[in-house]
Amino acid sequence: MATMADVARHAGVSVKTVSNVLSGYPYIRDTTRARVLAAVDELGYEINVTARIFRSGRSGVVGLAVPELGQPYFGELADEILAAGREHDLQVLIQPTGFTREGELAALKEPRRGLIDGLIFSPAALVQADEHLLEGLGYPLVLLGEQMFSPHVDHVTMRNVEGARAATDLLLDDGRRRIAVVGMLHAETAGTSALRFRGYREALEARGIEVDPRLLGWADAGWHRAEGARAMADVLDSGAGVDGVVAFNDALAIGAMYELQVRGLAIPHDVGVVGFDDIGDALFSVPTLTTVDPGRREIARVAVDLLRRRVQERLGPGAEREAPVLHVAGMRLVERESTARRTA
């Protein structure tokens, strides 16, 4: 088994330099850092996390807790966080929580075992009444999403209301008036679904259009393709008549498009469809999917940067802690074939 001394000899540097590189010390020449990391790879050196904690007070490992990786948004967000971590020589341990309260509580306990420097946490089951669970954790925490907020914790979120309103306005601007929404959740009154519905409703109300309950597609079993198809079928079976669809994520939108086309409806001629999240599959659906890009890369990079800063504050004796940050990422509407203008 290779040792740090072996890596130092192979790279032609001191053991101290190897230690600095592996500990994320910033003042290292790029050429030296590259040489050390190449030696680590060639020799198969494995970092002794326990020893690193003993020497520096940090492990160089951060946690990421998300509801599931099977939802494309969370899988692609995890990829972005992994990439942002690599830029700072951080390893990221991913813990899917399964949309359960038990899974999320377990994720909050994990850093207390001492092998993780801090946690990026995207709750789905915990609610605002659980805010007290985020206080006094004893480690840095960055919160993602809209399920709960705390003035004591750094938080990175997205423009859900604005994104859904922009998606709805795009369809309204094309003369569509029977716009269905796919992704409603009966149990949610304050989270992502509720915020995106608010944006949809505000866009309709601004044009003097009332929300038709028959156009609400419920997806309580999860925001997956199958639920999108089922919810779309329910709306079509209601006889409400549909000429546009706003889906609360791209997987739901792709499922809805499948159901529409099975029923013989042409997209976008008969029905325009807009999703949310701008996942990779949106470029390969037929037709390609218009969607809201919520700033996933920005969310990942800001979350990792905030966590790094908090870890460094803890290690700096007497360092003054900055006030918690609430960062709202930028969004943009990405127009593709599923909403090609009928007027064009």
Buried b (16+ CB within 10 A) or exposed e, 287-326: bbbbbbbbbbbbbbbbbbbbbbebbeebeeeeeeeeebee
Residue 15: per-residue pLDDT: 86
pLDDT by residue (tens digit) across 221-250?
999 999 999 999 999 999 999 999 999 999
Confidence bin at 192 (pLDDT 50/70/90):
very high
Token pair belonging to 305: 């940067």
Minimum mean pLDDT among 36-45, 50-59, 168-177, 193-202: which range?
A: 50-59
Give helix then strand counts, H and E, for the chain: 11, 12
At position 63, the amino acid (one-letter code) is G
Highest mean pLDDT among 14-18, 168-172, 310-314: 168-172
Minimum mean pLDDT among 39-48, 98-107, 174-183: which range?
A: 39-48
Minimum mean pLDDT among 17-26, 87-96, 229-238: which range?
A: 17-26
CB count within 10 Å of CB 89 equals 15
Exposed, middle or buried, 99 (CB in 10 Å: 0-12/13-18/19+)? middle
CB half-sphere exposure, 127, CA atoms < 13 A: 5
Per-residue pLDDT averaged across 301-311, rounded?
Answer: 95
**What's the alpha-carbon Rg for the chain, to the nearest Å?**
23
**Nearest CA-CA partner of 248 in 223, 211, 221:** 223
Per-residue pLDDT averaged across 279-304, rounded?
Answer: 97
Question: Domain map of the chain by residue range?
Answer: 4-46, 61-158+295-331, 160-293
For domain 4-46, give its CATH number from 1.10.260.40, 3.40.50.920, 1.10.8.590, 1.10.760.10: 1.10.260.40
CB 273 within 8 A of CB 338: yes
- Decide if pLDDT at 8 tops 60: yes
Q: Do domains 61-158+295-331 and 160-293 have the same CATH topology?
A: yes
Q: CB-based contacts of 46: which residues, under 8 Å, 6+ apart?
A: 1, 2
Confidence bin at 93 (pLDDT 50/70/90):
confident
What's the distance, Cα to Cα, between the start and end of the chain in Å? Answer: 66
- Decide if pLDDT at 277 tops 50: yes
Confidence bin at 54 (pLDDT 50/70/90):
very low
Minimum mean pLDDT among 28-42, 79-93, 121-135: which range?
A: 28-42
48 or 296, greater pLDDT: 296
Q: Concatenated DSSP letters for 84-140?
A: HHHHTT-EEEEEE-TT-HHHHHHHHHGGGGSS-S-EEE--SS--GGGGGGGSS-SS-
Confidence bin at 163 (pLDDT 50/70/90):
very high
190 or 113, greater pLDDT: 190
Say which CATH topology domain 61-158+295-331 has.
Rossmann fold (3.40.50)
The CATH code for residues 160-293 is 3.40.50.2300
C-alpha 329/C-alpha 94 separation (Å) is 22
Q: CB-based contacts of 230: which residues, under 8 Å, 6+ apart?
A: 219, 221, 255, 259
Residue 344: per-residue pLDDT: 47
pTM of the model: 0.81
CB count within 10 Å of CB 228 equals 30
284 DSSP assignment? T
C-alpha 278/C-alpha 255 separation (Å) is 15
Token pair belonging to 127: 């609610």
Confidence bin at 48 (pLDDT 50/70/90):
low
pLDDT by residue (tens digit) across 68-78?
988 999 999 99
